[in-house]
Structure 1
Amino acid sequence: MNWYEIKNIETVDSPSLLIFKDRLIQNIDQMIAMVDGDTNRLMPHVKTNKCIEVVGLMVAKGIKKFKASTIAEAEMAAMAGANKVLIAHQLVGPKIDRFNQLCKTFPKVDFSFLLDNASHLSNLNTKFIAAKVQVNVYIDINNGMNRSGIKTENLNDLINKINACETVNLLGLHVYDGHHRQVNFEERLEKIESDFSNIDTTNYEVISGGSPAFNIHSKNKNRICSPGTSVFWDWGYGEKFKEQGFKEAAILVTRVISKPSEGLITIDLGHKAVAAENPIDRRIKFLNLNNYVLLSQSEEHGVLSVENWNEIAIGDVFYGVPYHVCPSVNLYEEMGIVVDNEVQEYWQVIARKRKITI
C-alpha cells in the first residue's frame, strides 16, 4: 500500500482534507532539528494549519512561540498552549479593541503585533492611553518584498518615537523575505543575506523569514525563525526547496463523478476545494493518476483529460497534493487524521473563522 492510500476510504467523503499524523510529527521534528533543538528560536506561523491540535503537538515538543495573521489564529494558538503570539499585521479598526480583549482573556500569553508607521503609532498610543493598557510591538521591516514594513532609512526615527510612547513597548524587529524563492540554494542564500546586511539588528530580537528562508536563517543563532508551510509541506515548496527535507503531510481526496466525453473525466474537486490562485497546472498533483491534464475548474467540478479513460470508473478515488497548502486548508472545516493508513479522527480547522470568540 502506498503511503497516501486509505484503508477505510469508503468512510471518507470527498472532497476531503487528510493529514498524515506520522509525517506531521516528522516535519515538526525536522523543524526542531534545523535549529539544533533550540525551540526558543522557533516561532512557527499558524496560518498554515489553523488547528488547536496541530499547534498542541508543537507545544508538547517545546515550541511555545507562534506567529499568526488574524485575531482568530492568535486566539487559537493561545487556546493550544502558546505563551507568546505575534500577530503579523499592523492593527487597524476594530482589531485594536479585539487585541485588547485578547490580552485580557489570556493574561498569561505575551501578545504583540507589527508596526511600521509613525502616524499610526500616535493613533494607537492615544487609544491605548484611553484603554489604560500597555502593548508590545515589533517593527516590521520592508526588506525588499514591498508588501508591508518600514524602509531601513526610517527605522531609527520610528524606534525613537516608540520609545517616547507611554503605552507601546518595542520587543524587536520583524523581517520577512518571502520574495526570495530561488530554487538554487546558493543564489537564495546570497540574496537573503545581502538584503539582511542592510539592517542593524545588533540590539534587537529579530523574527526572520518564512519557510523558503528557514534553512538559511536557522544557521544564524541570533535569529528567530518563522516557518509555516513546513508542518504540512506542499507540492509547490517541495518542488523548489527539496534540500529542507520536509514531507508532504496533507492530501486532498477526490472522486470521479462523471465521464462526459471520451478522454475526459470530472472530479468533485473544484476551486472551492483547493487553492486556485495559481494557474490551472499549479493547483494539485495527483499521486495515483498518470498522464493527465487538469483542463478547468468551476466551483465544485474539475475536468481532466486522461489517457486511461476506459479504465476509470465513476466513484474512483484520487489522492492529490495541493500546490499551495495554506489556502487549501482554509477551505475545509475539518481535517481527517490518518494513522496507519486509516482515518481515525477529525480535527477542526477552527481558525479558518475570522472570529472564534473575540
Structure 2
Amino acid sequence: CEQYRNVTISVLIENTAHIDQWRGSRVGAFIDVNPGMNRTGIEQTRMTDIVELARSVEKAGLEFRGLHYYDGQYGSMSELDRTHMAHHGYDQLLAIVNSLRINGMKVAEVITAGTPTFPSSVSYSGFRNSSLFIHRASPGTVVYNDAVSLAQLPPELEYQPAALVLTRVVSHPRKGIISCDAGHKSVSADAGVPTCRVLGHPELTPLSPSEEHLPMSLADGVKTPELGEVLYLLPRHVCPTVNNFDHALIVRNGEIESVQEVSARGREMPLLHVGAVATD
C-alpha cells in the first residue's frame, strides 16, 4: 500500500486474527461471508458476530470496505433453481447490510457471485435498485470460458471460449482408441472425466488421462484421425489448465499475433530469512 499509494488494496477477513496482521496499514477489509459453500467465511446466520467483526476492523484503524459473498455451490443446478437459491441468499445478505447500517456502520461495497451465479446476481432487484452501496459481480471464468461454464450460462448471453489447448494424435493403441499428448499436465483433471471436449469432433470422447497422454474413444464407423493430426480441446475447467502453461499463443483470424507469458502461473519464491530453520 505504501509503495503504490494510488492503488486500493483490500483483504478478506472472517475473524479478529485476520485483522491483527494489518494493524497500522492502509489495507482495507471486506468481511468474507459464508453463503453455505463452506469453503471460507463467517456463516451468514451469525449476524451479531459479523457486526462485531466490522466494529473490530474500525477499532484497528482499518477501513471497513464491505461484504464479500461467493456463492459458487449452485453450479450443478438448473438455471431456474440456481437463481432461486442465489436470490434467497441475497435476501439474507441484504439483511446483514441492514443490520450493519442500524449499528452505525457504512457498507460501501457488496461483492457477489462467481461465473455460475453471475446472471442470478445481476438480475437480483435488491442489488440493481440499491443506492446504499456499490454492487460488484465477480465472475472470473467468463474471461476465457470453458465447457462447464458454457453449459451453465444462458445461451442468449452468447459467450464463446477464448482459450483452447492444441494437441496432436500420437498413438493408435488399438481399434477404436486414439491417444493425444494432452494428459493432466496439460488439461486439468480437477473437474472430472472427461477433462475436455474436442471441438469439431463429437465422435471423439476423451477418457481418463495420465500425466502426458489423453486417450479418446472413437465412435463406430468414422474415420480414425491420422498420427500427427491437430485437435483443439476445450477444457472443462480452464483456470487450472491455464496454470499449466508458461506461454499462450494469441491468435486472430487464424494468424498468430503474439506469444504472451502467463505471468500469474506457478508460485512465488518463499520469503525466508537467512538462517531460518524449517519445521515439521
Which whole-Å CA distance do the structure 2 matches of 1:105 and 1:264 have between them?
56
Which of 121, 125, 128 is the matching residue for 1:217?
A: 121
Contact 2:68 2:110 in 1 (8 A): yes
Which whole-Å CA distance do the structure 2 matches of 1:323 and 1:217 have between them?
23
Deviations 1:175-224 (A, max 9, x none): 11011225433321211111121122244110111111212222333421
Which whole-Å CA distance do the structure 2 matches of 1:137 and 1:330 have between them?
28
Contact 1:264 1:309 in 2 (8 A): no
1:161 and 2:56 matched: yes
Deviations 1:295-319 (A, max 9, x none): 3311111112213675421101111
Give 1:290 deviation, angstroms: 3.1
Please give the TM-score of this superposition, normalised by the length of structure 2: 0.82
Which whole-Å CA distance do the structure 2 matches of 1:182 and 1:309 have between them?
33
Q: Which has the larger radius of gyration?
A: 2
RMSD: 2.1
| Alignment match, 2:91 | 197
Which whole-Å CA distance do the structure 2 matches of 1:312 and 1:137 have between them?
54
Which whole-Å CA distance do the structure 1 matches of 2:145 and 2:68 have between them?
23
Structure 1 or 2: more helix by fraction: 1
Structure 2 vs 1, CA of residues 150 and 292 (structure 1 numbering), >3 Å: closer, same or farther?
A: same
Contact 2:79 2:152 in 1 (8 A): no
* Aligned residue type for 1:208: T
Give 1:155 deviation, angstroms: 0.6
* Aligned residue-pair number: 248
Structure 2 vs 1, CA of residues 296 and 145 (structure 1 numbering), >3 Å: closer, same or farther?
A: closer
Give 1:105 deviation, angstroms: 3.6
* Aligned residue type for 2:18: H
Contact 2:29 2:57 in 1 (8 A): no
- Mark the runs of 5 or more structure 2 residues left unpaired by the alignment: 99-105, 129-133, 272-280
Which whole-Å CA distance do the structure 1 matches of 2:160 and 2:185 have between them?
25
Could you say what secondary structure the match of 1:352 adopts?
coil
| Alignment match, 2:80 | 186
Which of 21, 24, 35 is the matching residue for 1:124?
A: 21
- Equivalent residue runs for 1:31-70 within 5 Å: none
Which whole-Å CA distance do the structure 2 matches of 1:289 and 1:189 have between them?
33
| Alignment match, 2:110 | 206
Displaced runs of 4 or more, over 6 A: none
Which whole-Å CA distance do the structure 2 matches of 1:338 and 1:206 have between them?
36
Which of 224, 227, 239 is the matching residue for 1:326?
A: 239
Indicate the structure whose relative CO is greater, using CA pairs within 8 Å and at least 6 residues apart.
1
Which whole-Å CA distance do the structure 1 matches of 2:13 and 2:251 have between them?
40
| Alignment match, 1:258 | 171
Q: Between the two proteins, what is the percent identity of the paired residues? A: 31
Deviations 1:115-145 (A, max 9, x none): 0012332x325xx44xxx3321101001111
Give 1:278 deviation, angstroms: 2.5
1:335 and 2:233 matched: no
Deviations 1:50-106 (A, max 9, x none): xxxxxxxxxxxxxxxxxxxxxxxxxxxxxxxxxxxxxxxxxxxxxxxxxxxxx2442
Which of 109, 113, 127 is the matching residue for 2:11?
A: 113
Which whole-Å CA distance do the structure 1 matches of 2:256 and 2:269 have between them?
26
Which whole-Å CA distance do the structure 1 matches of 2:76 and 2:139 have between them?
17
Which of 147, 150, 162 is the matching residue for 2:39?
A: 147
